[in-house]
Structure 1
Amino acid sequence: MAGPHRALAETRNAVESAFRDAGIDAGSRVLLAVSGGSDSMALAQAALFVASRAGVLAASLTVDHGWRQDSPDEARATRDRLAGLGADPALVVTLASGARRGPG
């Protein structure tokens, strides 16, 4: 039976090592800061996989900076994907409108 893709297996192994080095074990809590980009989502998916098997409680946080018109929808979609992967809770924090910068 084939296992996960080599890159996925290596990422999971790296997360396991990071958890071990940080003393994160069963019953520990971690908070994953996730932008929603492909690299951030890949690492979050690996971390949630490892956490679920290690008995680690994993929550996620995505910040809606309000820099783009679609950013609220993107942040909510990221939250929903993370919840589906096991983040509990999966949260979105929206910055106050006065903190928004960028074009438009």
Structure 2
Amino acid sequence: MTGESEEGTAYGLPIDLRGKRAFIAGVADDNAYGWAIAKALAAAGAEILVRTWVPALNIFETSLRHGKFDNSRRLPNGSLMEISKVYPLAAVYDTPEDVPEDVKNK
């Protein structure tokens, strides 16, 4: 999944992560380490799932949906990084019974 730039310099991770999932915690915008890690893993072929801080969750999802991050989602091959799922990063449920099925064991 790595490639070469016009100058012949390799970019991306020199590993193939196709068919693998990468779960990155702490992604709340496109200016932090978590975003850069997600992009590198996506460029290597991994499916991307992220967890973001609860107070930033709605802002992050809205910004993502409205294309605010489209420029920084661009991967070396020209495609956009896809984020399969965004999970809340904090205890937002009072009891284990309150946790929705799609969030349990993630």
Q: Normalising to structure 2: TM-score of the pair?
A: 0.44
Q: Normalising to structure 1: TM-score of the pair?
A: 0.45
